[in-house]
Amino acid sequence: MTKRAYKFRFYPTPEQVTLLTRTFGCVRFVYNAVLRYRTDAYKQHQVNIGYSAANAKLTALKKDPAAVFLNEVSCVPLQQSLRHQQTAFKHFFEGRTRYPSFKSKRHRQSAEFTRSGFKYRNGQLFLAKSKEPLNIRWSRELPSVPSTVTVSKDAAGRYFVSCLCEFDTQALPIIPKMIGIDLGLKDLFVTSDGHRTGNPRHTAKYAAKLALAQRRLSKKRLGSANRAKARQKVARLHAKIADCRKDGLHKLSRRLINENQVICIESLQVKNMVRNRTLAKAISDAGWGEFTRQLAYKAAWTDRQVIAIDQWYPSTKRCSCCGHVMETMPLATRVWTCPECATVLDRDVNAAVNIKAVGLTVLALGENVSGMERVSMSCSR
């Protein structure tokens, strides 16, 4: 059994809006208060506050007369916020993320409910402290009773519910097709067969509307109702761009998984690449990290194989015919001729062919390639 989150949009009643607003505010208050408590304890006394001490701080907060409003909402999301904070500190100490930051009410709001905080029966979902079920737009049936439910509100004012369920994975039929793909900006990716996907450039498509909305927002008086409305318009445009990007990536990744048994890709350090101010916006708009993430988990669900070769392998500078490696390859060079074999090579297709060759070499050597496997290949091979 594998766990999977099913996300749906819902439309709360006025009473549920009030309850969710209070819940989001309390979750944010508890998270920020405990984070401040842990930060001050370390800076002033060099004491590391663990989860048990943080939980005791929550108990003290609920007994404080100034924070009596914490008892008006379910205690489950308050407790879960501390668990999420503990996970954030764990990732920080292991060097994977930055120091946990304080939550803002202007960004995405969320609250997680475990089984003691909700009821799911007859296709209806009831949250704690609410007598009416959520008006959810079910796009599919849940495979099992959810183990956790996360209710969220994005910056555009839309409400979503994410249900974590267990489901049985189904392996796709084995097919002989294997492919290599080279990620890029002119085309989102180019395959070793020469197929080009193009790049929809969602951010550039809505750039004019977004710039107009942002200019109007900047002219509104701080704290006014008109500024809040203008901020909502900007948020809705950003949400539209994000939804279009994610929808396109889901369709492309699903098609690759359905049509290929083995997919070879190049591992990229996107966080380092976006430091280039000239290309940062285009790289972020392409969504390479999200695309490779989708390929990884969809391959695991369907018994496909995704191989990520080392990022330093010279797939672009290496001739796929004779193996000659060029010393330099400027980004503006899209077609080049190999000085050894005089073969005219397309930059992207050549890179995809090399990526496929390296990935298939790993298969021939009998390496374990389940899921995302990073393979380091020297330049001399």
| 362-373 confidence digits (pLDDT tens) | 777 755 443 444
User: Does any domain span residue 173?
Assistant: no
User: Does any domain span residue 376?
Assistant: no
Residues 238 and 283 in one domain: yes
Please report which helix (H) or strand (E) contains residue 127, including its range. Answer: strand 124-127
User: At which of 136, 167, 198 does a domain end?
Assistant: 167
Helix, strand, coil shares of the chain as percentages rounded to 5?
Answer: 45, 20, 35
Say whether 272 sits in a helix, a strand or coil. helix
Q: Is the dihedral of CA 76, 79, 84, 87 positive or negative?
A: negative
- Among residues 187, 348, 367, 373, the one annotated as catalytic is 348
Number of domains in the chain: 2
**Is 132 one of the catalytic residues?**
no
Residues 191 and 289 in one domain: yes
User: At which of 167, 192, 226 does a domain end?
Assistant: 167
Residues 201 and 113 in one domain: no
- Among residues 64, 166, 266, 340, the one annotated as catalytic is 266
User: Does any domain span residue 371?
Assistant: no
Which residue's structure tokens are 């194989």?
A: 305
Number of Cβ within a 10 Å radius of residue 226: 12
Residues 218 and 144 in one domain: no
User: Does any domain span residue 69?
Assistant: yes
CA distance 57 to 359: 52
The pairing of beta strand 189-191 with beta strand 178-183: antiparallel
User: Does any domain span residue 335?
Assistant: yes
- Residues whose CB is less than 8 angstroms from the CB of residue 128 and which lie 6 or more positions away in sequence, other chains included: 74, 76, 113, 116, 117, 118
Token pair recorded at residue 178: 């294997």
Q: Which domain holds residue 219?
A: 178-365
Residues 251 and 299 in one domain: yes
Q: Is the dihedral of CA 58, 60, 62, 64 positive or negative?
A: negative
Residues 39 and 85 in one domain: yes
Separation in Å, CA 298 to CA 250, 332, 358: 10, 34, 22
User: Does any domain span residue 377?
Assistant: no
**Is 64 one of the catalytic residues?**
no
Residues 268 and 348 in one domain: yes
- 326 neighbors 379 (Cβ within 8 angstroms): no
Separation in Å, CA 136 to CA 9, 123, 140: 6, 10, 11
Average pLDDT over residues 288-292: 93
Residues 140 and 24 in one domain: yes
Residues 112 and 139 in one domain: yes
- Each residue of 22-80: pLDDT tens digit? 999 999 999 999 999 999 999 999 999 999 999 999 999 999 999 999 999 999 999 99
Give yes or no for residue 377 having a pLDDT over 50. no
Closest by CA position to 285, among listed 331, 310, 251, 248: 248
Residues 199 and 155 in one domain: no
CA distance 245 to 199: 10
**Is 348 one of the catalytic residues?**
yes
CA distance 267 to 84: 29
Average pLDDT over residues 132-154: 95
Residues 13 and 143 in one domain: yes
User: Does any domain span residue 212?
Assistant: yes
User: At which of 105, 139, 167 does a domain end?
Assistant: 167
Average pLDDT, the chain: 91
- 261 neighbors 176 (Cβ within 8 angstroms): yes
- 146 neighbors 164 (Cβ within 8 angstroms): yes
Residues 273 and 318 in one domain: yes
pLDDT-above-70 percentage for the chain: 96
- Each residue of 187-244: pLDDT tens digit? 999 999 999 999 999 999 999 999 999 999 999 999 999 999 999 999 999 999 999 9
- Among residues 15, 40, 182, 243, the one annotated as catalytic is 182
